[in-house]
Chains A and B, each alone.
Chain A
């Protein structure tokens, strides 16, 4: 069986959940080989985690010579790994960075690229992907017809399933060209940890919009009661009430949680593009005409400032 390369999603060596989802999907396509491009000191731990989710091999690329040069060196490293291992496919997390790595890789190896897949299954003549397009109004299945399929996969696309892999670690030294080092990070400010789940990975998301009037306390309170992440509409971000990293929608994050709870969000097409594939949708809005109510499984016409705190209180009571 052919190898399937899976780029490990991590922050400074800390492996993120989408990695396990990708490894789970990769097992259906071939033998998963995880690729860790990161700090050498964290490699053993990352490899151990990848092994637990079925990685037969773990290629370790020490990122010391690559770090700070954005995506181009990572694409070169992956290109060299593709040439070495002739994989059946390359799966990459569908983050902004992941998509850019995939874009450069696809051109380098002369292969078709599919982005933002929500499922990848084996098919005749290669993996078949599922995507959600036009703001979630259409589902599209597709495949790569030329070269080694490069597919970026969105978070929450599969339920991670543990499986024992051999997890054989193989050090790999990538050759990085000078031209890949022409753009670099000159300053970086890591985002403050909120203690809440990562927005794109969370099972529950509570989001606030214009209707919060700038007060996100009810949104945060309910998110914490439910163990969810906090999100926002563009209107709230543009008003300066909350940082852009919380924005859900066409130009922000796309989320697909089990439960999406919108407070004071009208539901413009641009917002829908970021949340329409959520499994269960709930909205609280004062305006009974708000388009978000067309999407909901359950809606409350009311003020989030009274409804959210009351719900949070009842949820906390139930938890004891």
Chain B
């Protein structure tokens, strides 16, 4: 089985995230890391490998599209246990929207599958920066593959895949045949920490760098100028004015809260 896991390098969500002058996300002024939600996809890929009858025949490739520092995201996936990495690195990609990113990812998946077709493309449920949750569906559309998204439980048998998910209105079991695109949620199982052995082993794992030319993508198909969406303005939300805080003593808190709710006409 040939598995590709898409991993994104994002600004740390707990840091003070900013925009650049060109209204793109500041990816250099803030410490970056592998998007936490992508760790779950790496974890599930590794579990599929470990559960396979012949784990040595399962290849897990961590794929990222991003700036030079984005290799950190690939390295983390390798430390967790992925076999190899691919980093699509090209200045022309900067500022791409989801449409552009999904094009580069799709071409990279096709190239990775050149010798041995890719069976599974795995993604996290969303990035922690853009948080659109649309790249898995866009990838599936571009690769003409079925998508099984937001999986919390994954089962495979041969090329058959069954996933369970909490849908918008129901809990569902979804079935499909590989090849397919899958996204997994943070309910799918805690992602492992890299072991010391894993960290050492990762240093010897192969990481290939692709340029846009390697993928047959023209520079003017991607990047900020080619994006099909344009950010007009970014405004920091004004800090909330400090609210009133009271300490509950013998029921005073409830009385004060009811008065507040009444003053705002909620009751």
Report A's interface with B, CB cutoff 8 A: 11, 70-72, 75, 95-97, 99-104, 106-108, 111-116, 128, 132-147, 179, 182-191, 204, 226, 234, 243-245, 250-251, 258-259, 269-270, 273, 276, 280-282, 284, 288, 293-303, 306-307, 310-311, 314-315, 318-319
Given A179-B146, A298-B244, A311-B254, 15 more contacts at CB 8 Å?
A: A72-B147, A101-B137, A103-B98, A104-B138, A107-B102, A107-B142, A108-B141, A112-B99, A143-B229, A183-B147, A188-B173, A189-B171, A191-B170, A244-B187, A251-B186
Q: How many Å from the CB of B207 to the closest CB on chain A?
A: 29
**B247 is an interface residue with CB less than 8 A from chain A:** yes
Interface residues on B, range: 35 or more
Closest Cβ neighbor of A277 among chain B residues: B237
Residues on B with C-beta less than 8 A from A75 are: 141
Residues on B with C-beta less than 8 A from A71 are: 137, 147
Q: Point out the residue from B147, B175, B229 that lies within 8 Å of A112, measured CB to CB.
A: B229
In the complex, number of A-B residue pairs with CB atoms less than 8 Å apart: 258
B47-55, B194-202, B256-264: which one contacts chain A?
B256-264
Closest 4 pairs (CB-CB, A-B): A302-B248, A112-B228, A310-B254, A146-B228
Given contacts A71-B137, A102-B134, A301-B247, contact A144 B228 (CB under 8 A): yes
Complexed CA–CA distance, A114 and B171 (Å): 27
Closest Cβ neighbor of B11 among chain A residues: A134
**Could you tell me if B137 and A138 are in contact, using CB atoms closer than 8 angstroms?**
no
Q: How many Å from the CB of A114 to the closest CB on chain B?
A: 6
Given contacts A136-B237, A138-B19, A301-B247, contact A128 B169 (CB under 8 A): no
Q: Point out the residue from B150, B152, B175, B232 that lies within 8 Å of A96, measured CB to CB.
A: B150
Residues on B with C-beta less than 8 A from A306 are: 248, 251, 254
**B253 is an interface residue with CB less than 8 A from chain A:** yes
B80-88, B109-117, B160-168: which one contacts chain A?
B160-168
Q: Point out the residue from A95, A141, A186, A226 that lies within 8 Å of B162, measured CB to CB.
A: A186
Given contacts A138-B234, A142-B230, A310-B254, contact A298 B243 (CB under 8 A): yes
B58-66, B67-75, B124-132: which one contacts chain A?
B124-132
**Could you tell me if A250 and B180 are in contact, using CB atoms closer than 8 angstroms?**
no
Q: How many Å from the CB of B263 to the closest CB on chain A?
A: 9
Closest Cβ neighbor of B235 among chain A residues: A139
Within 8 A of A (CB), among B206-233: 227-233
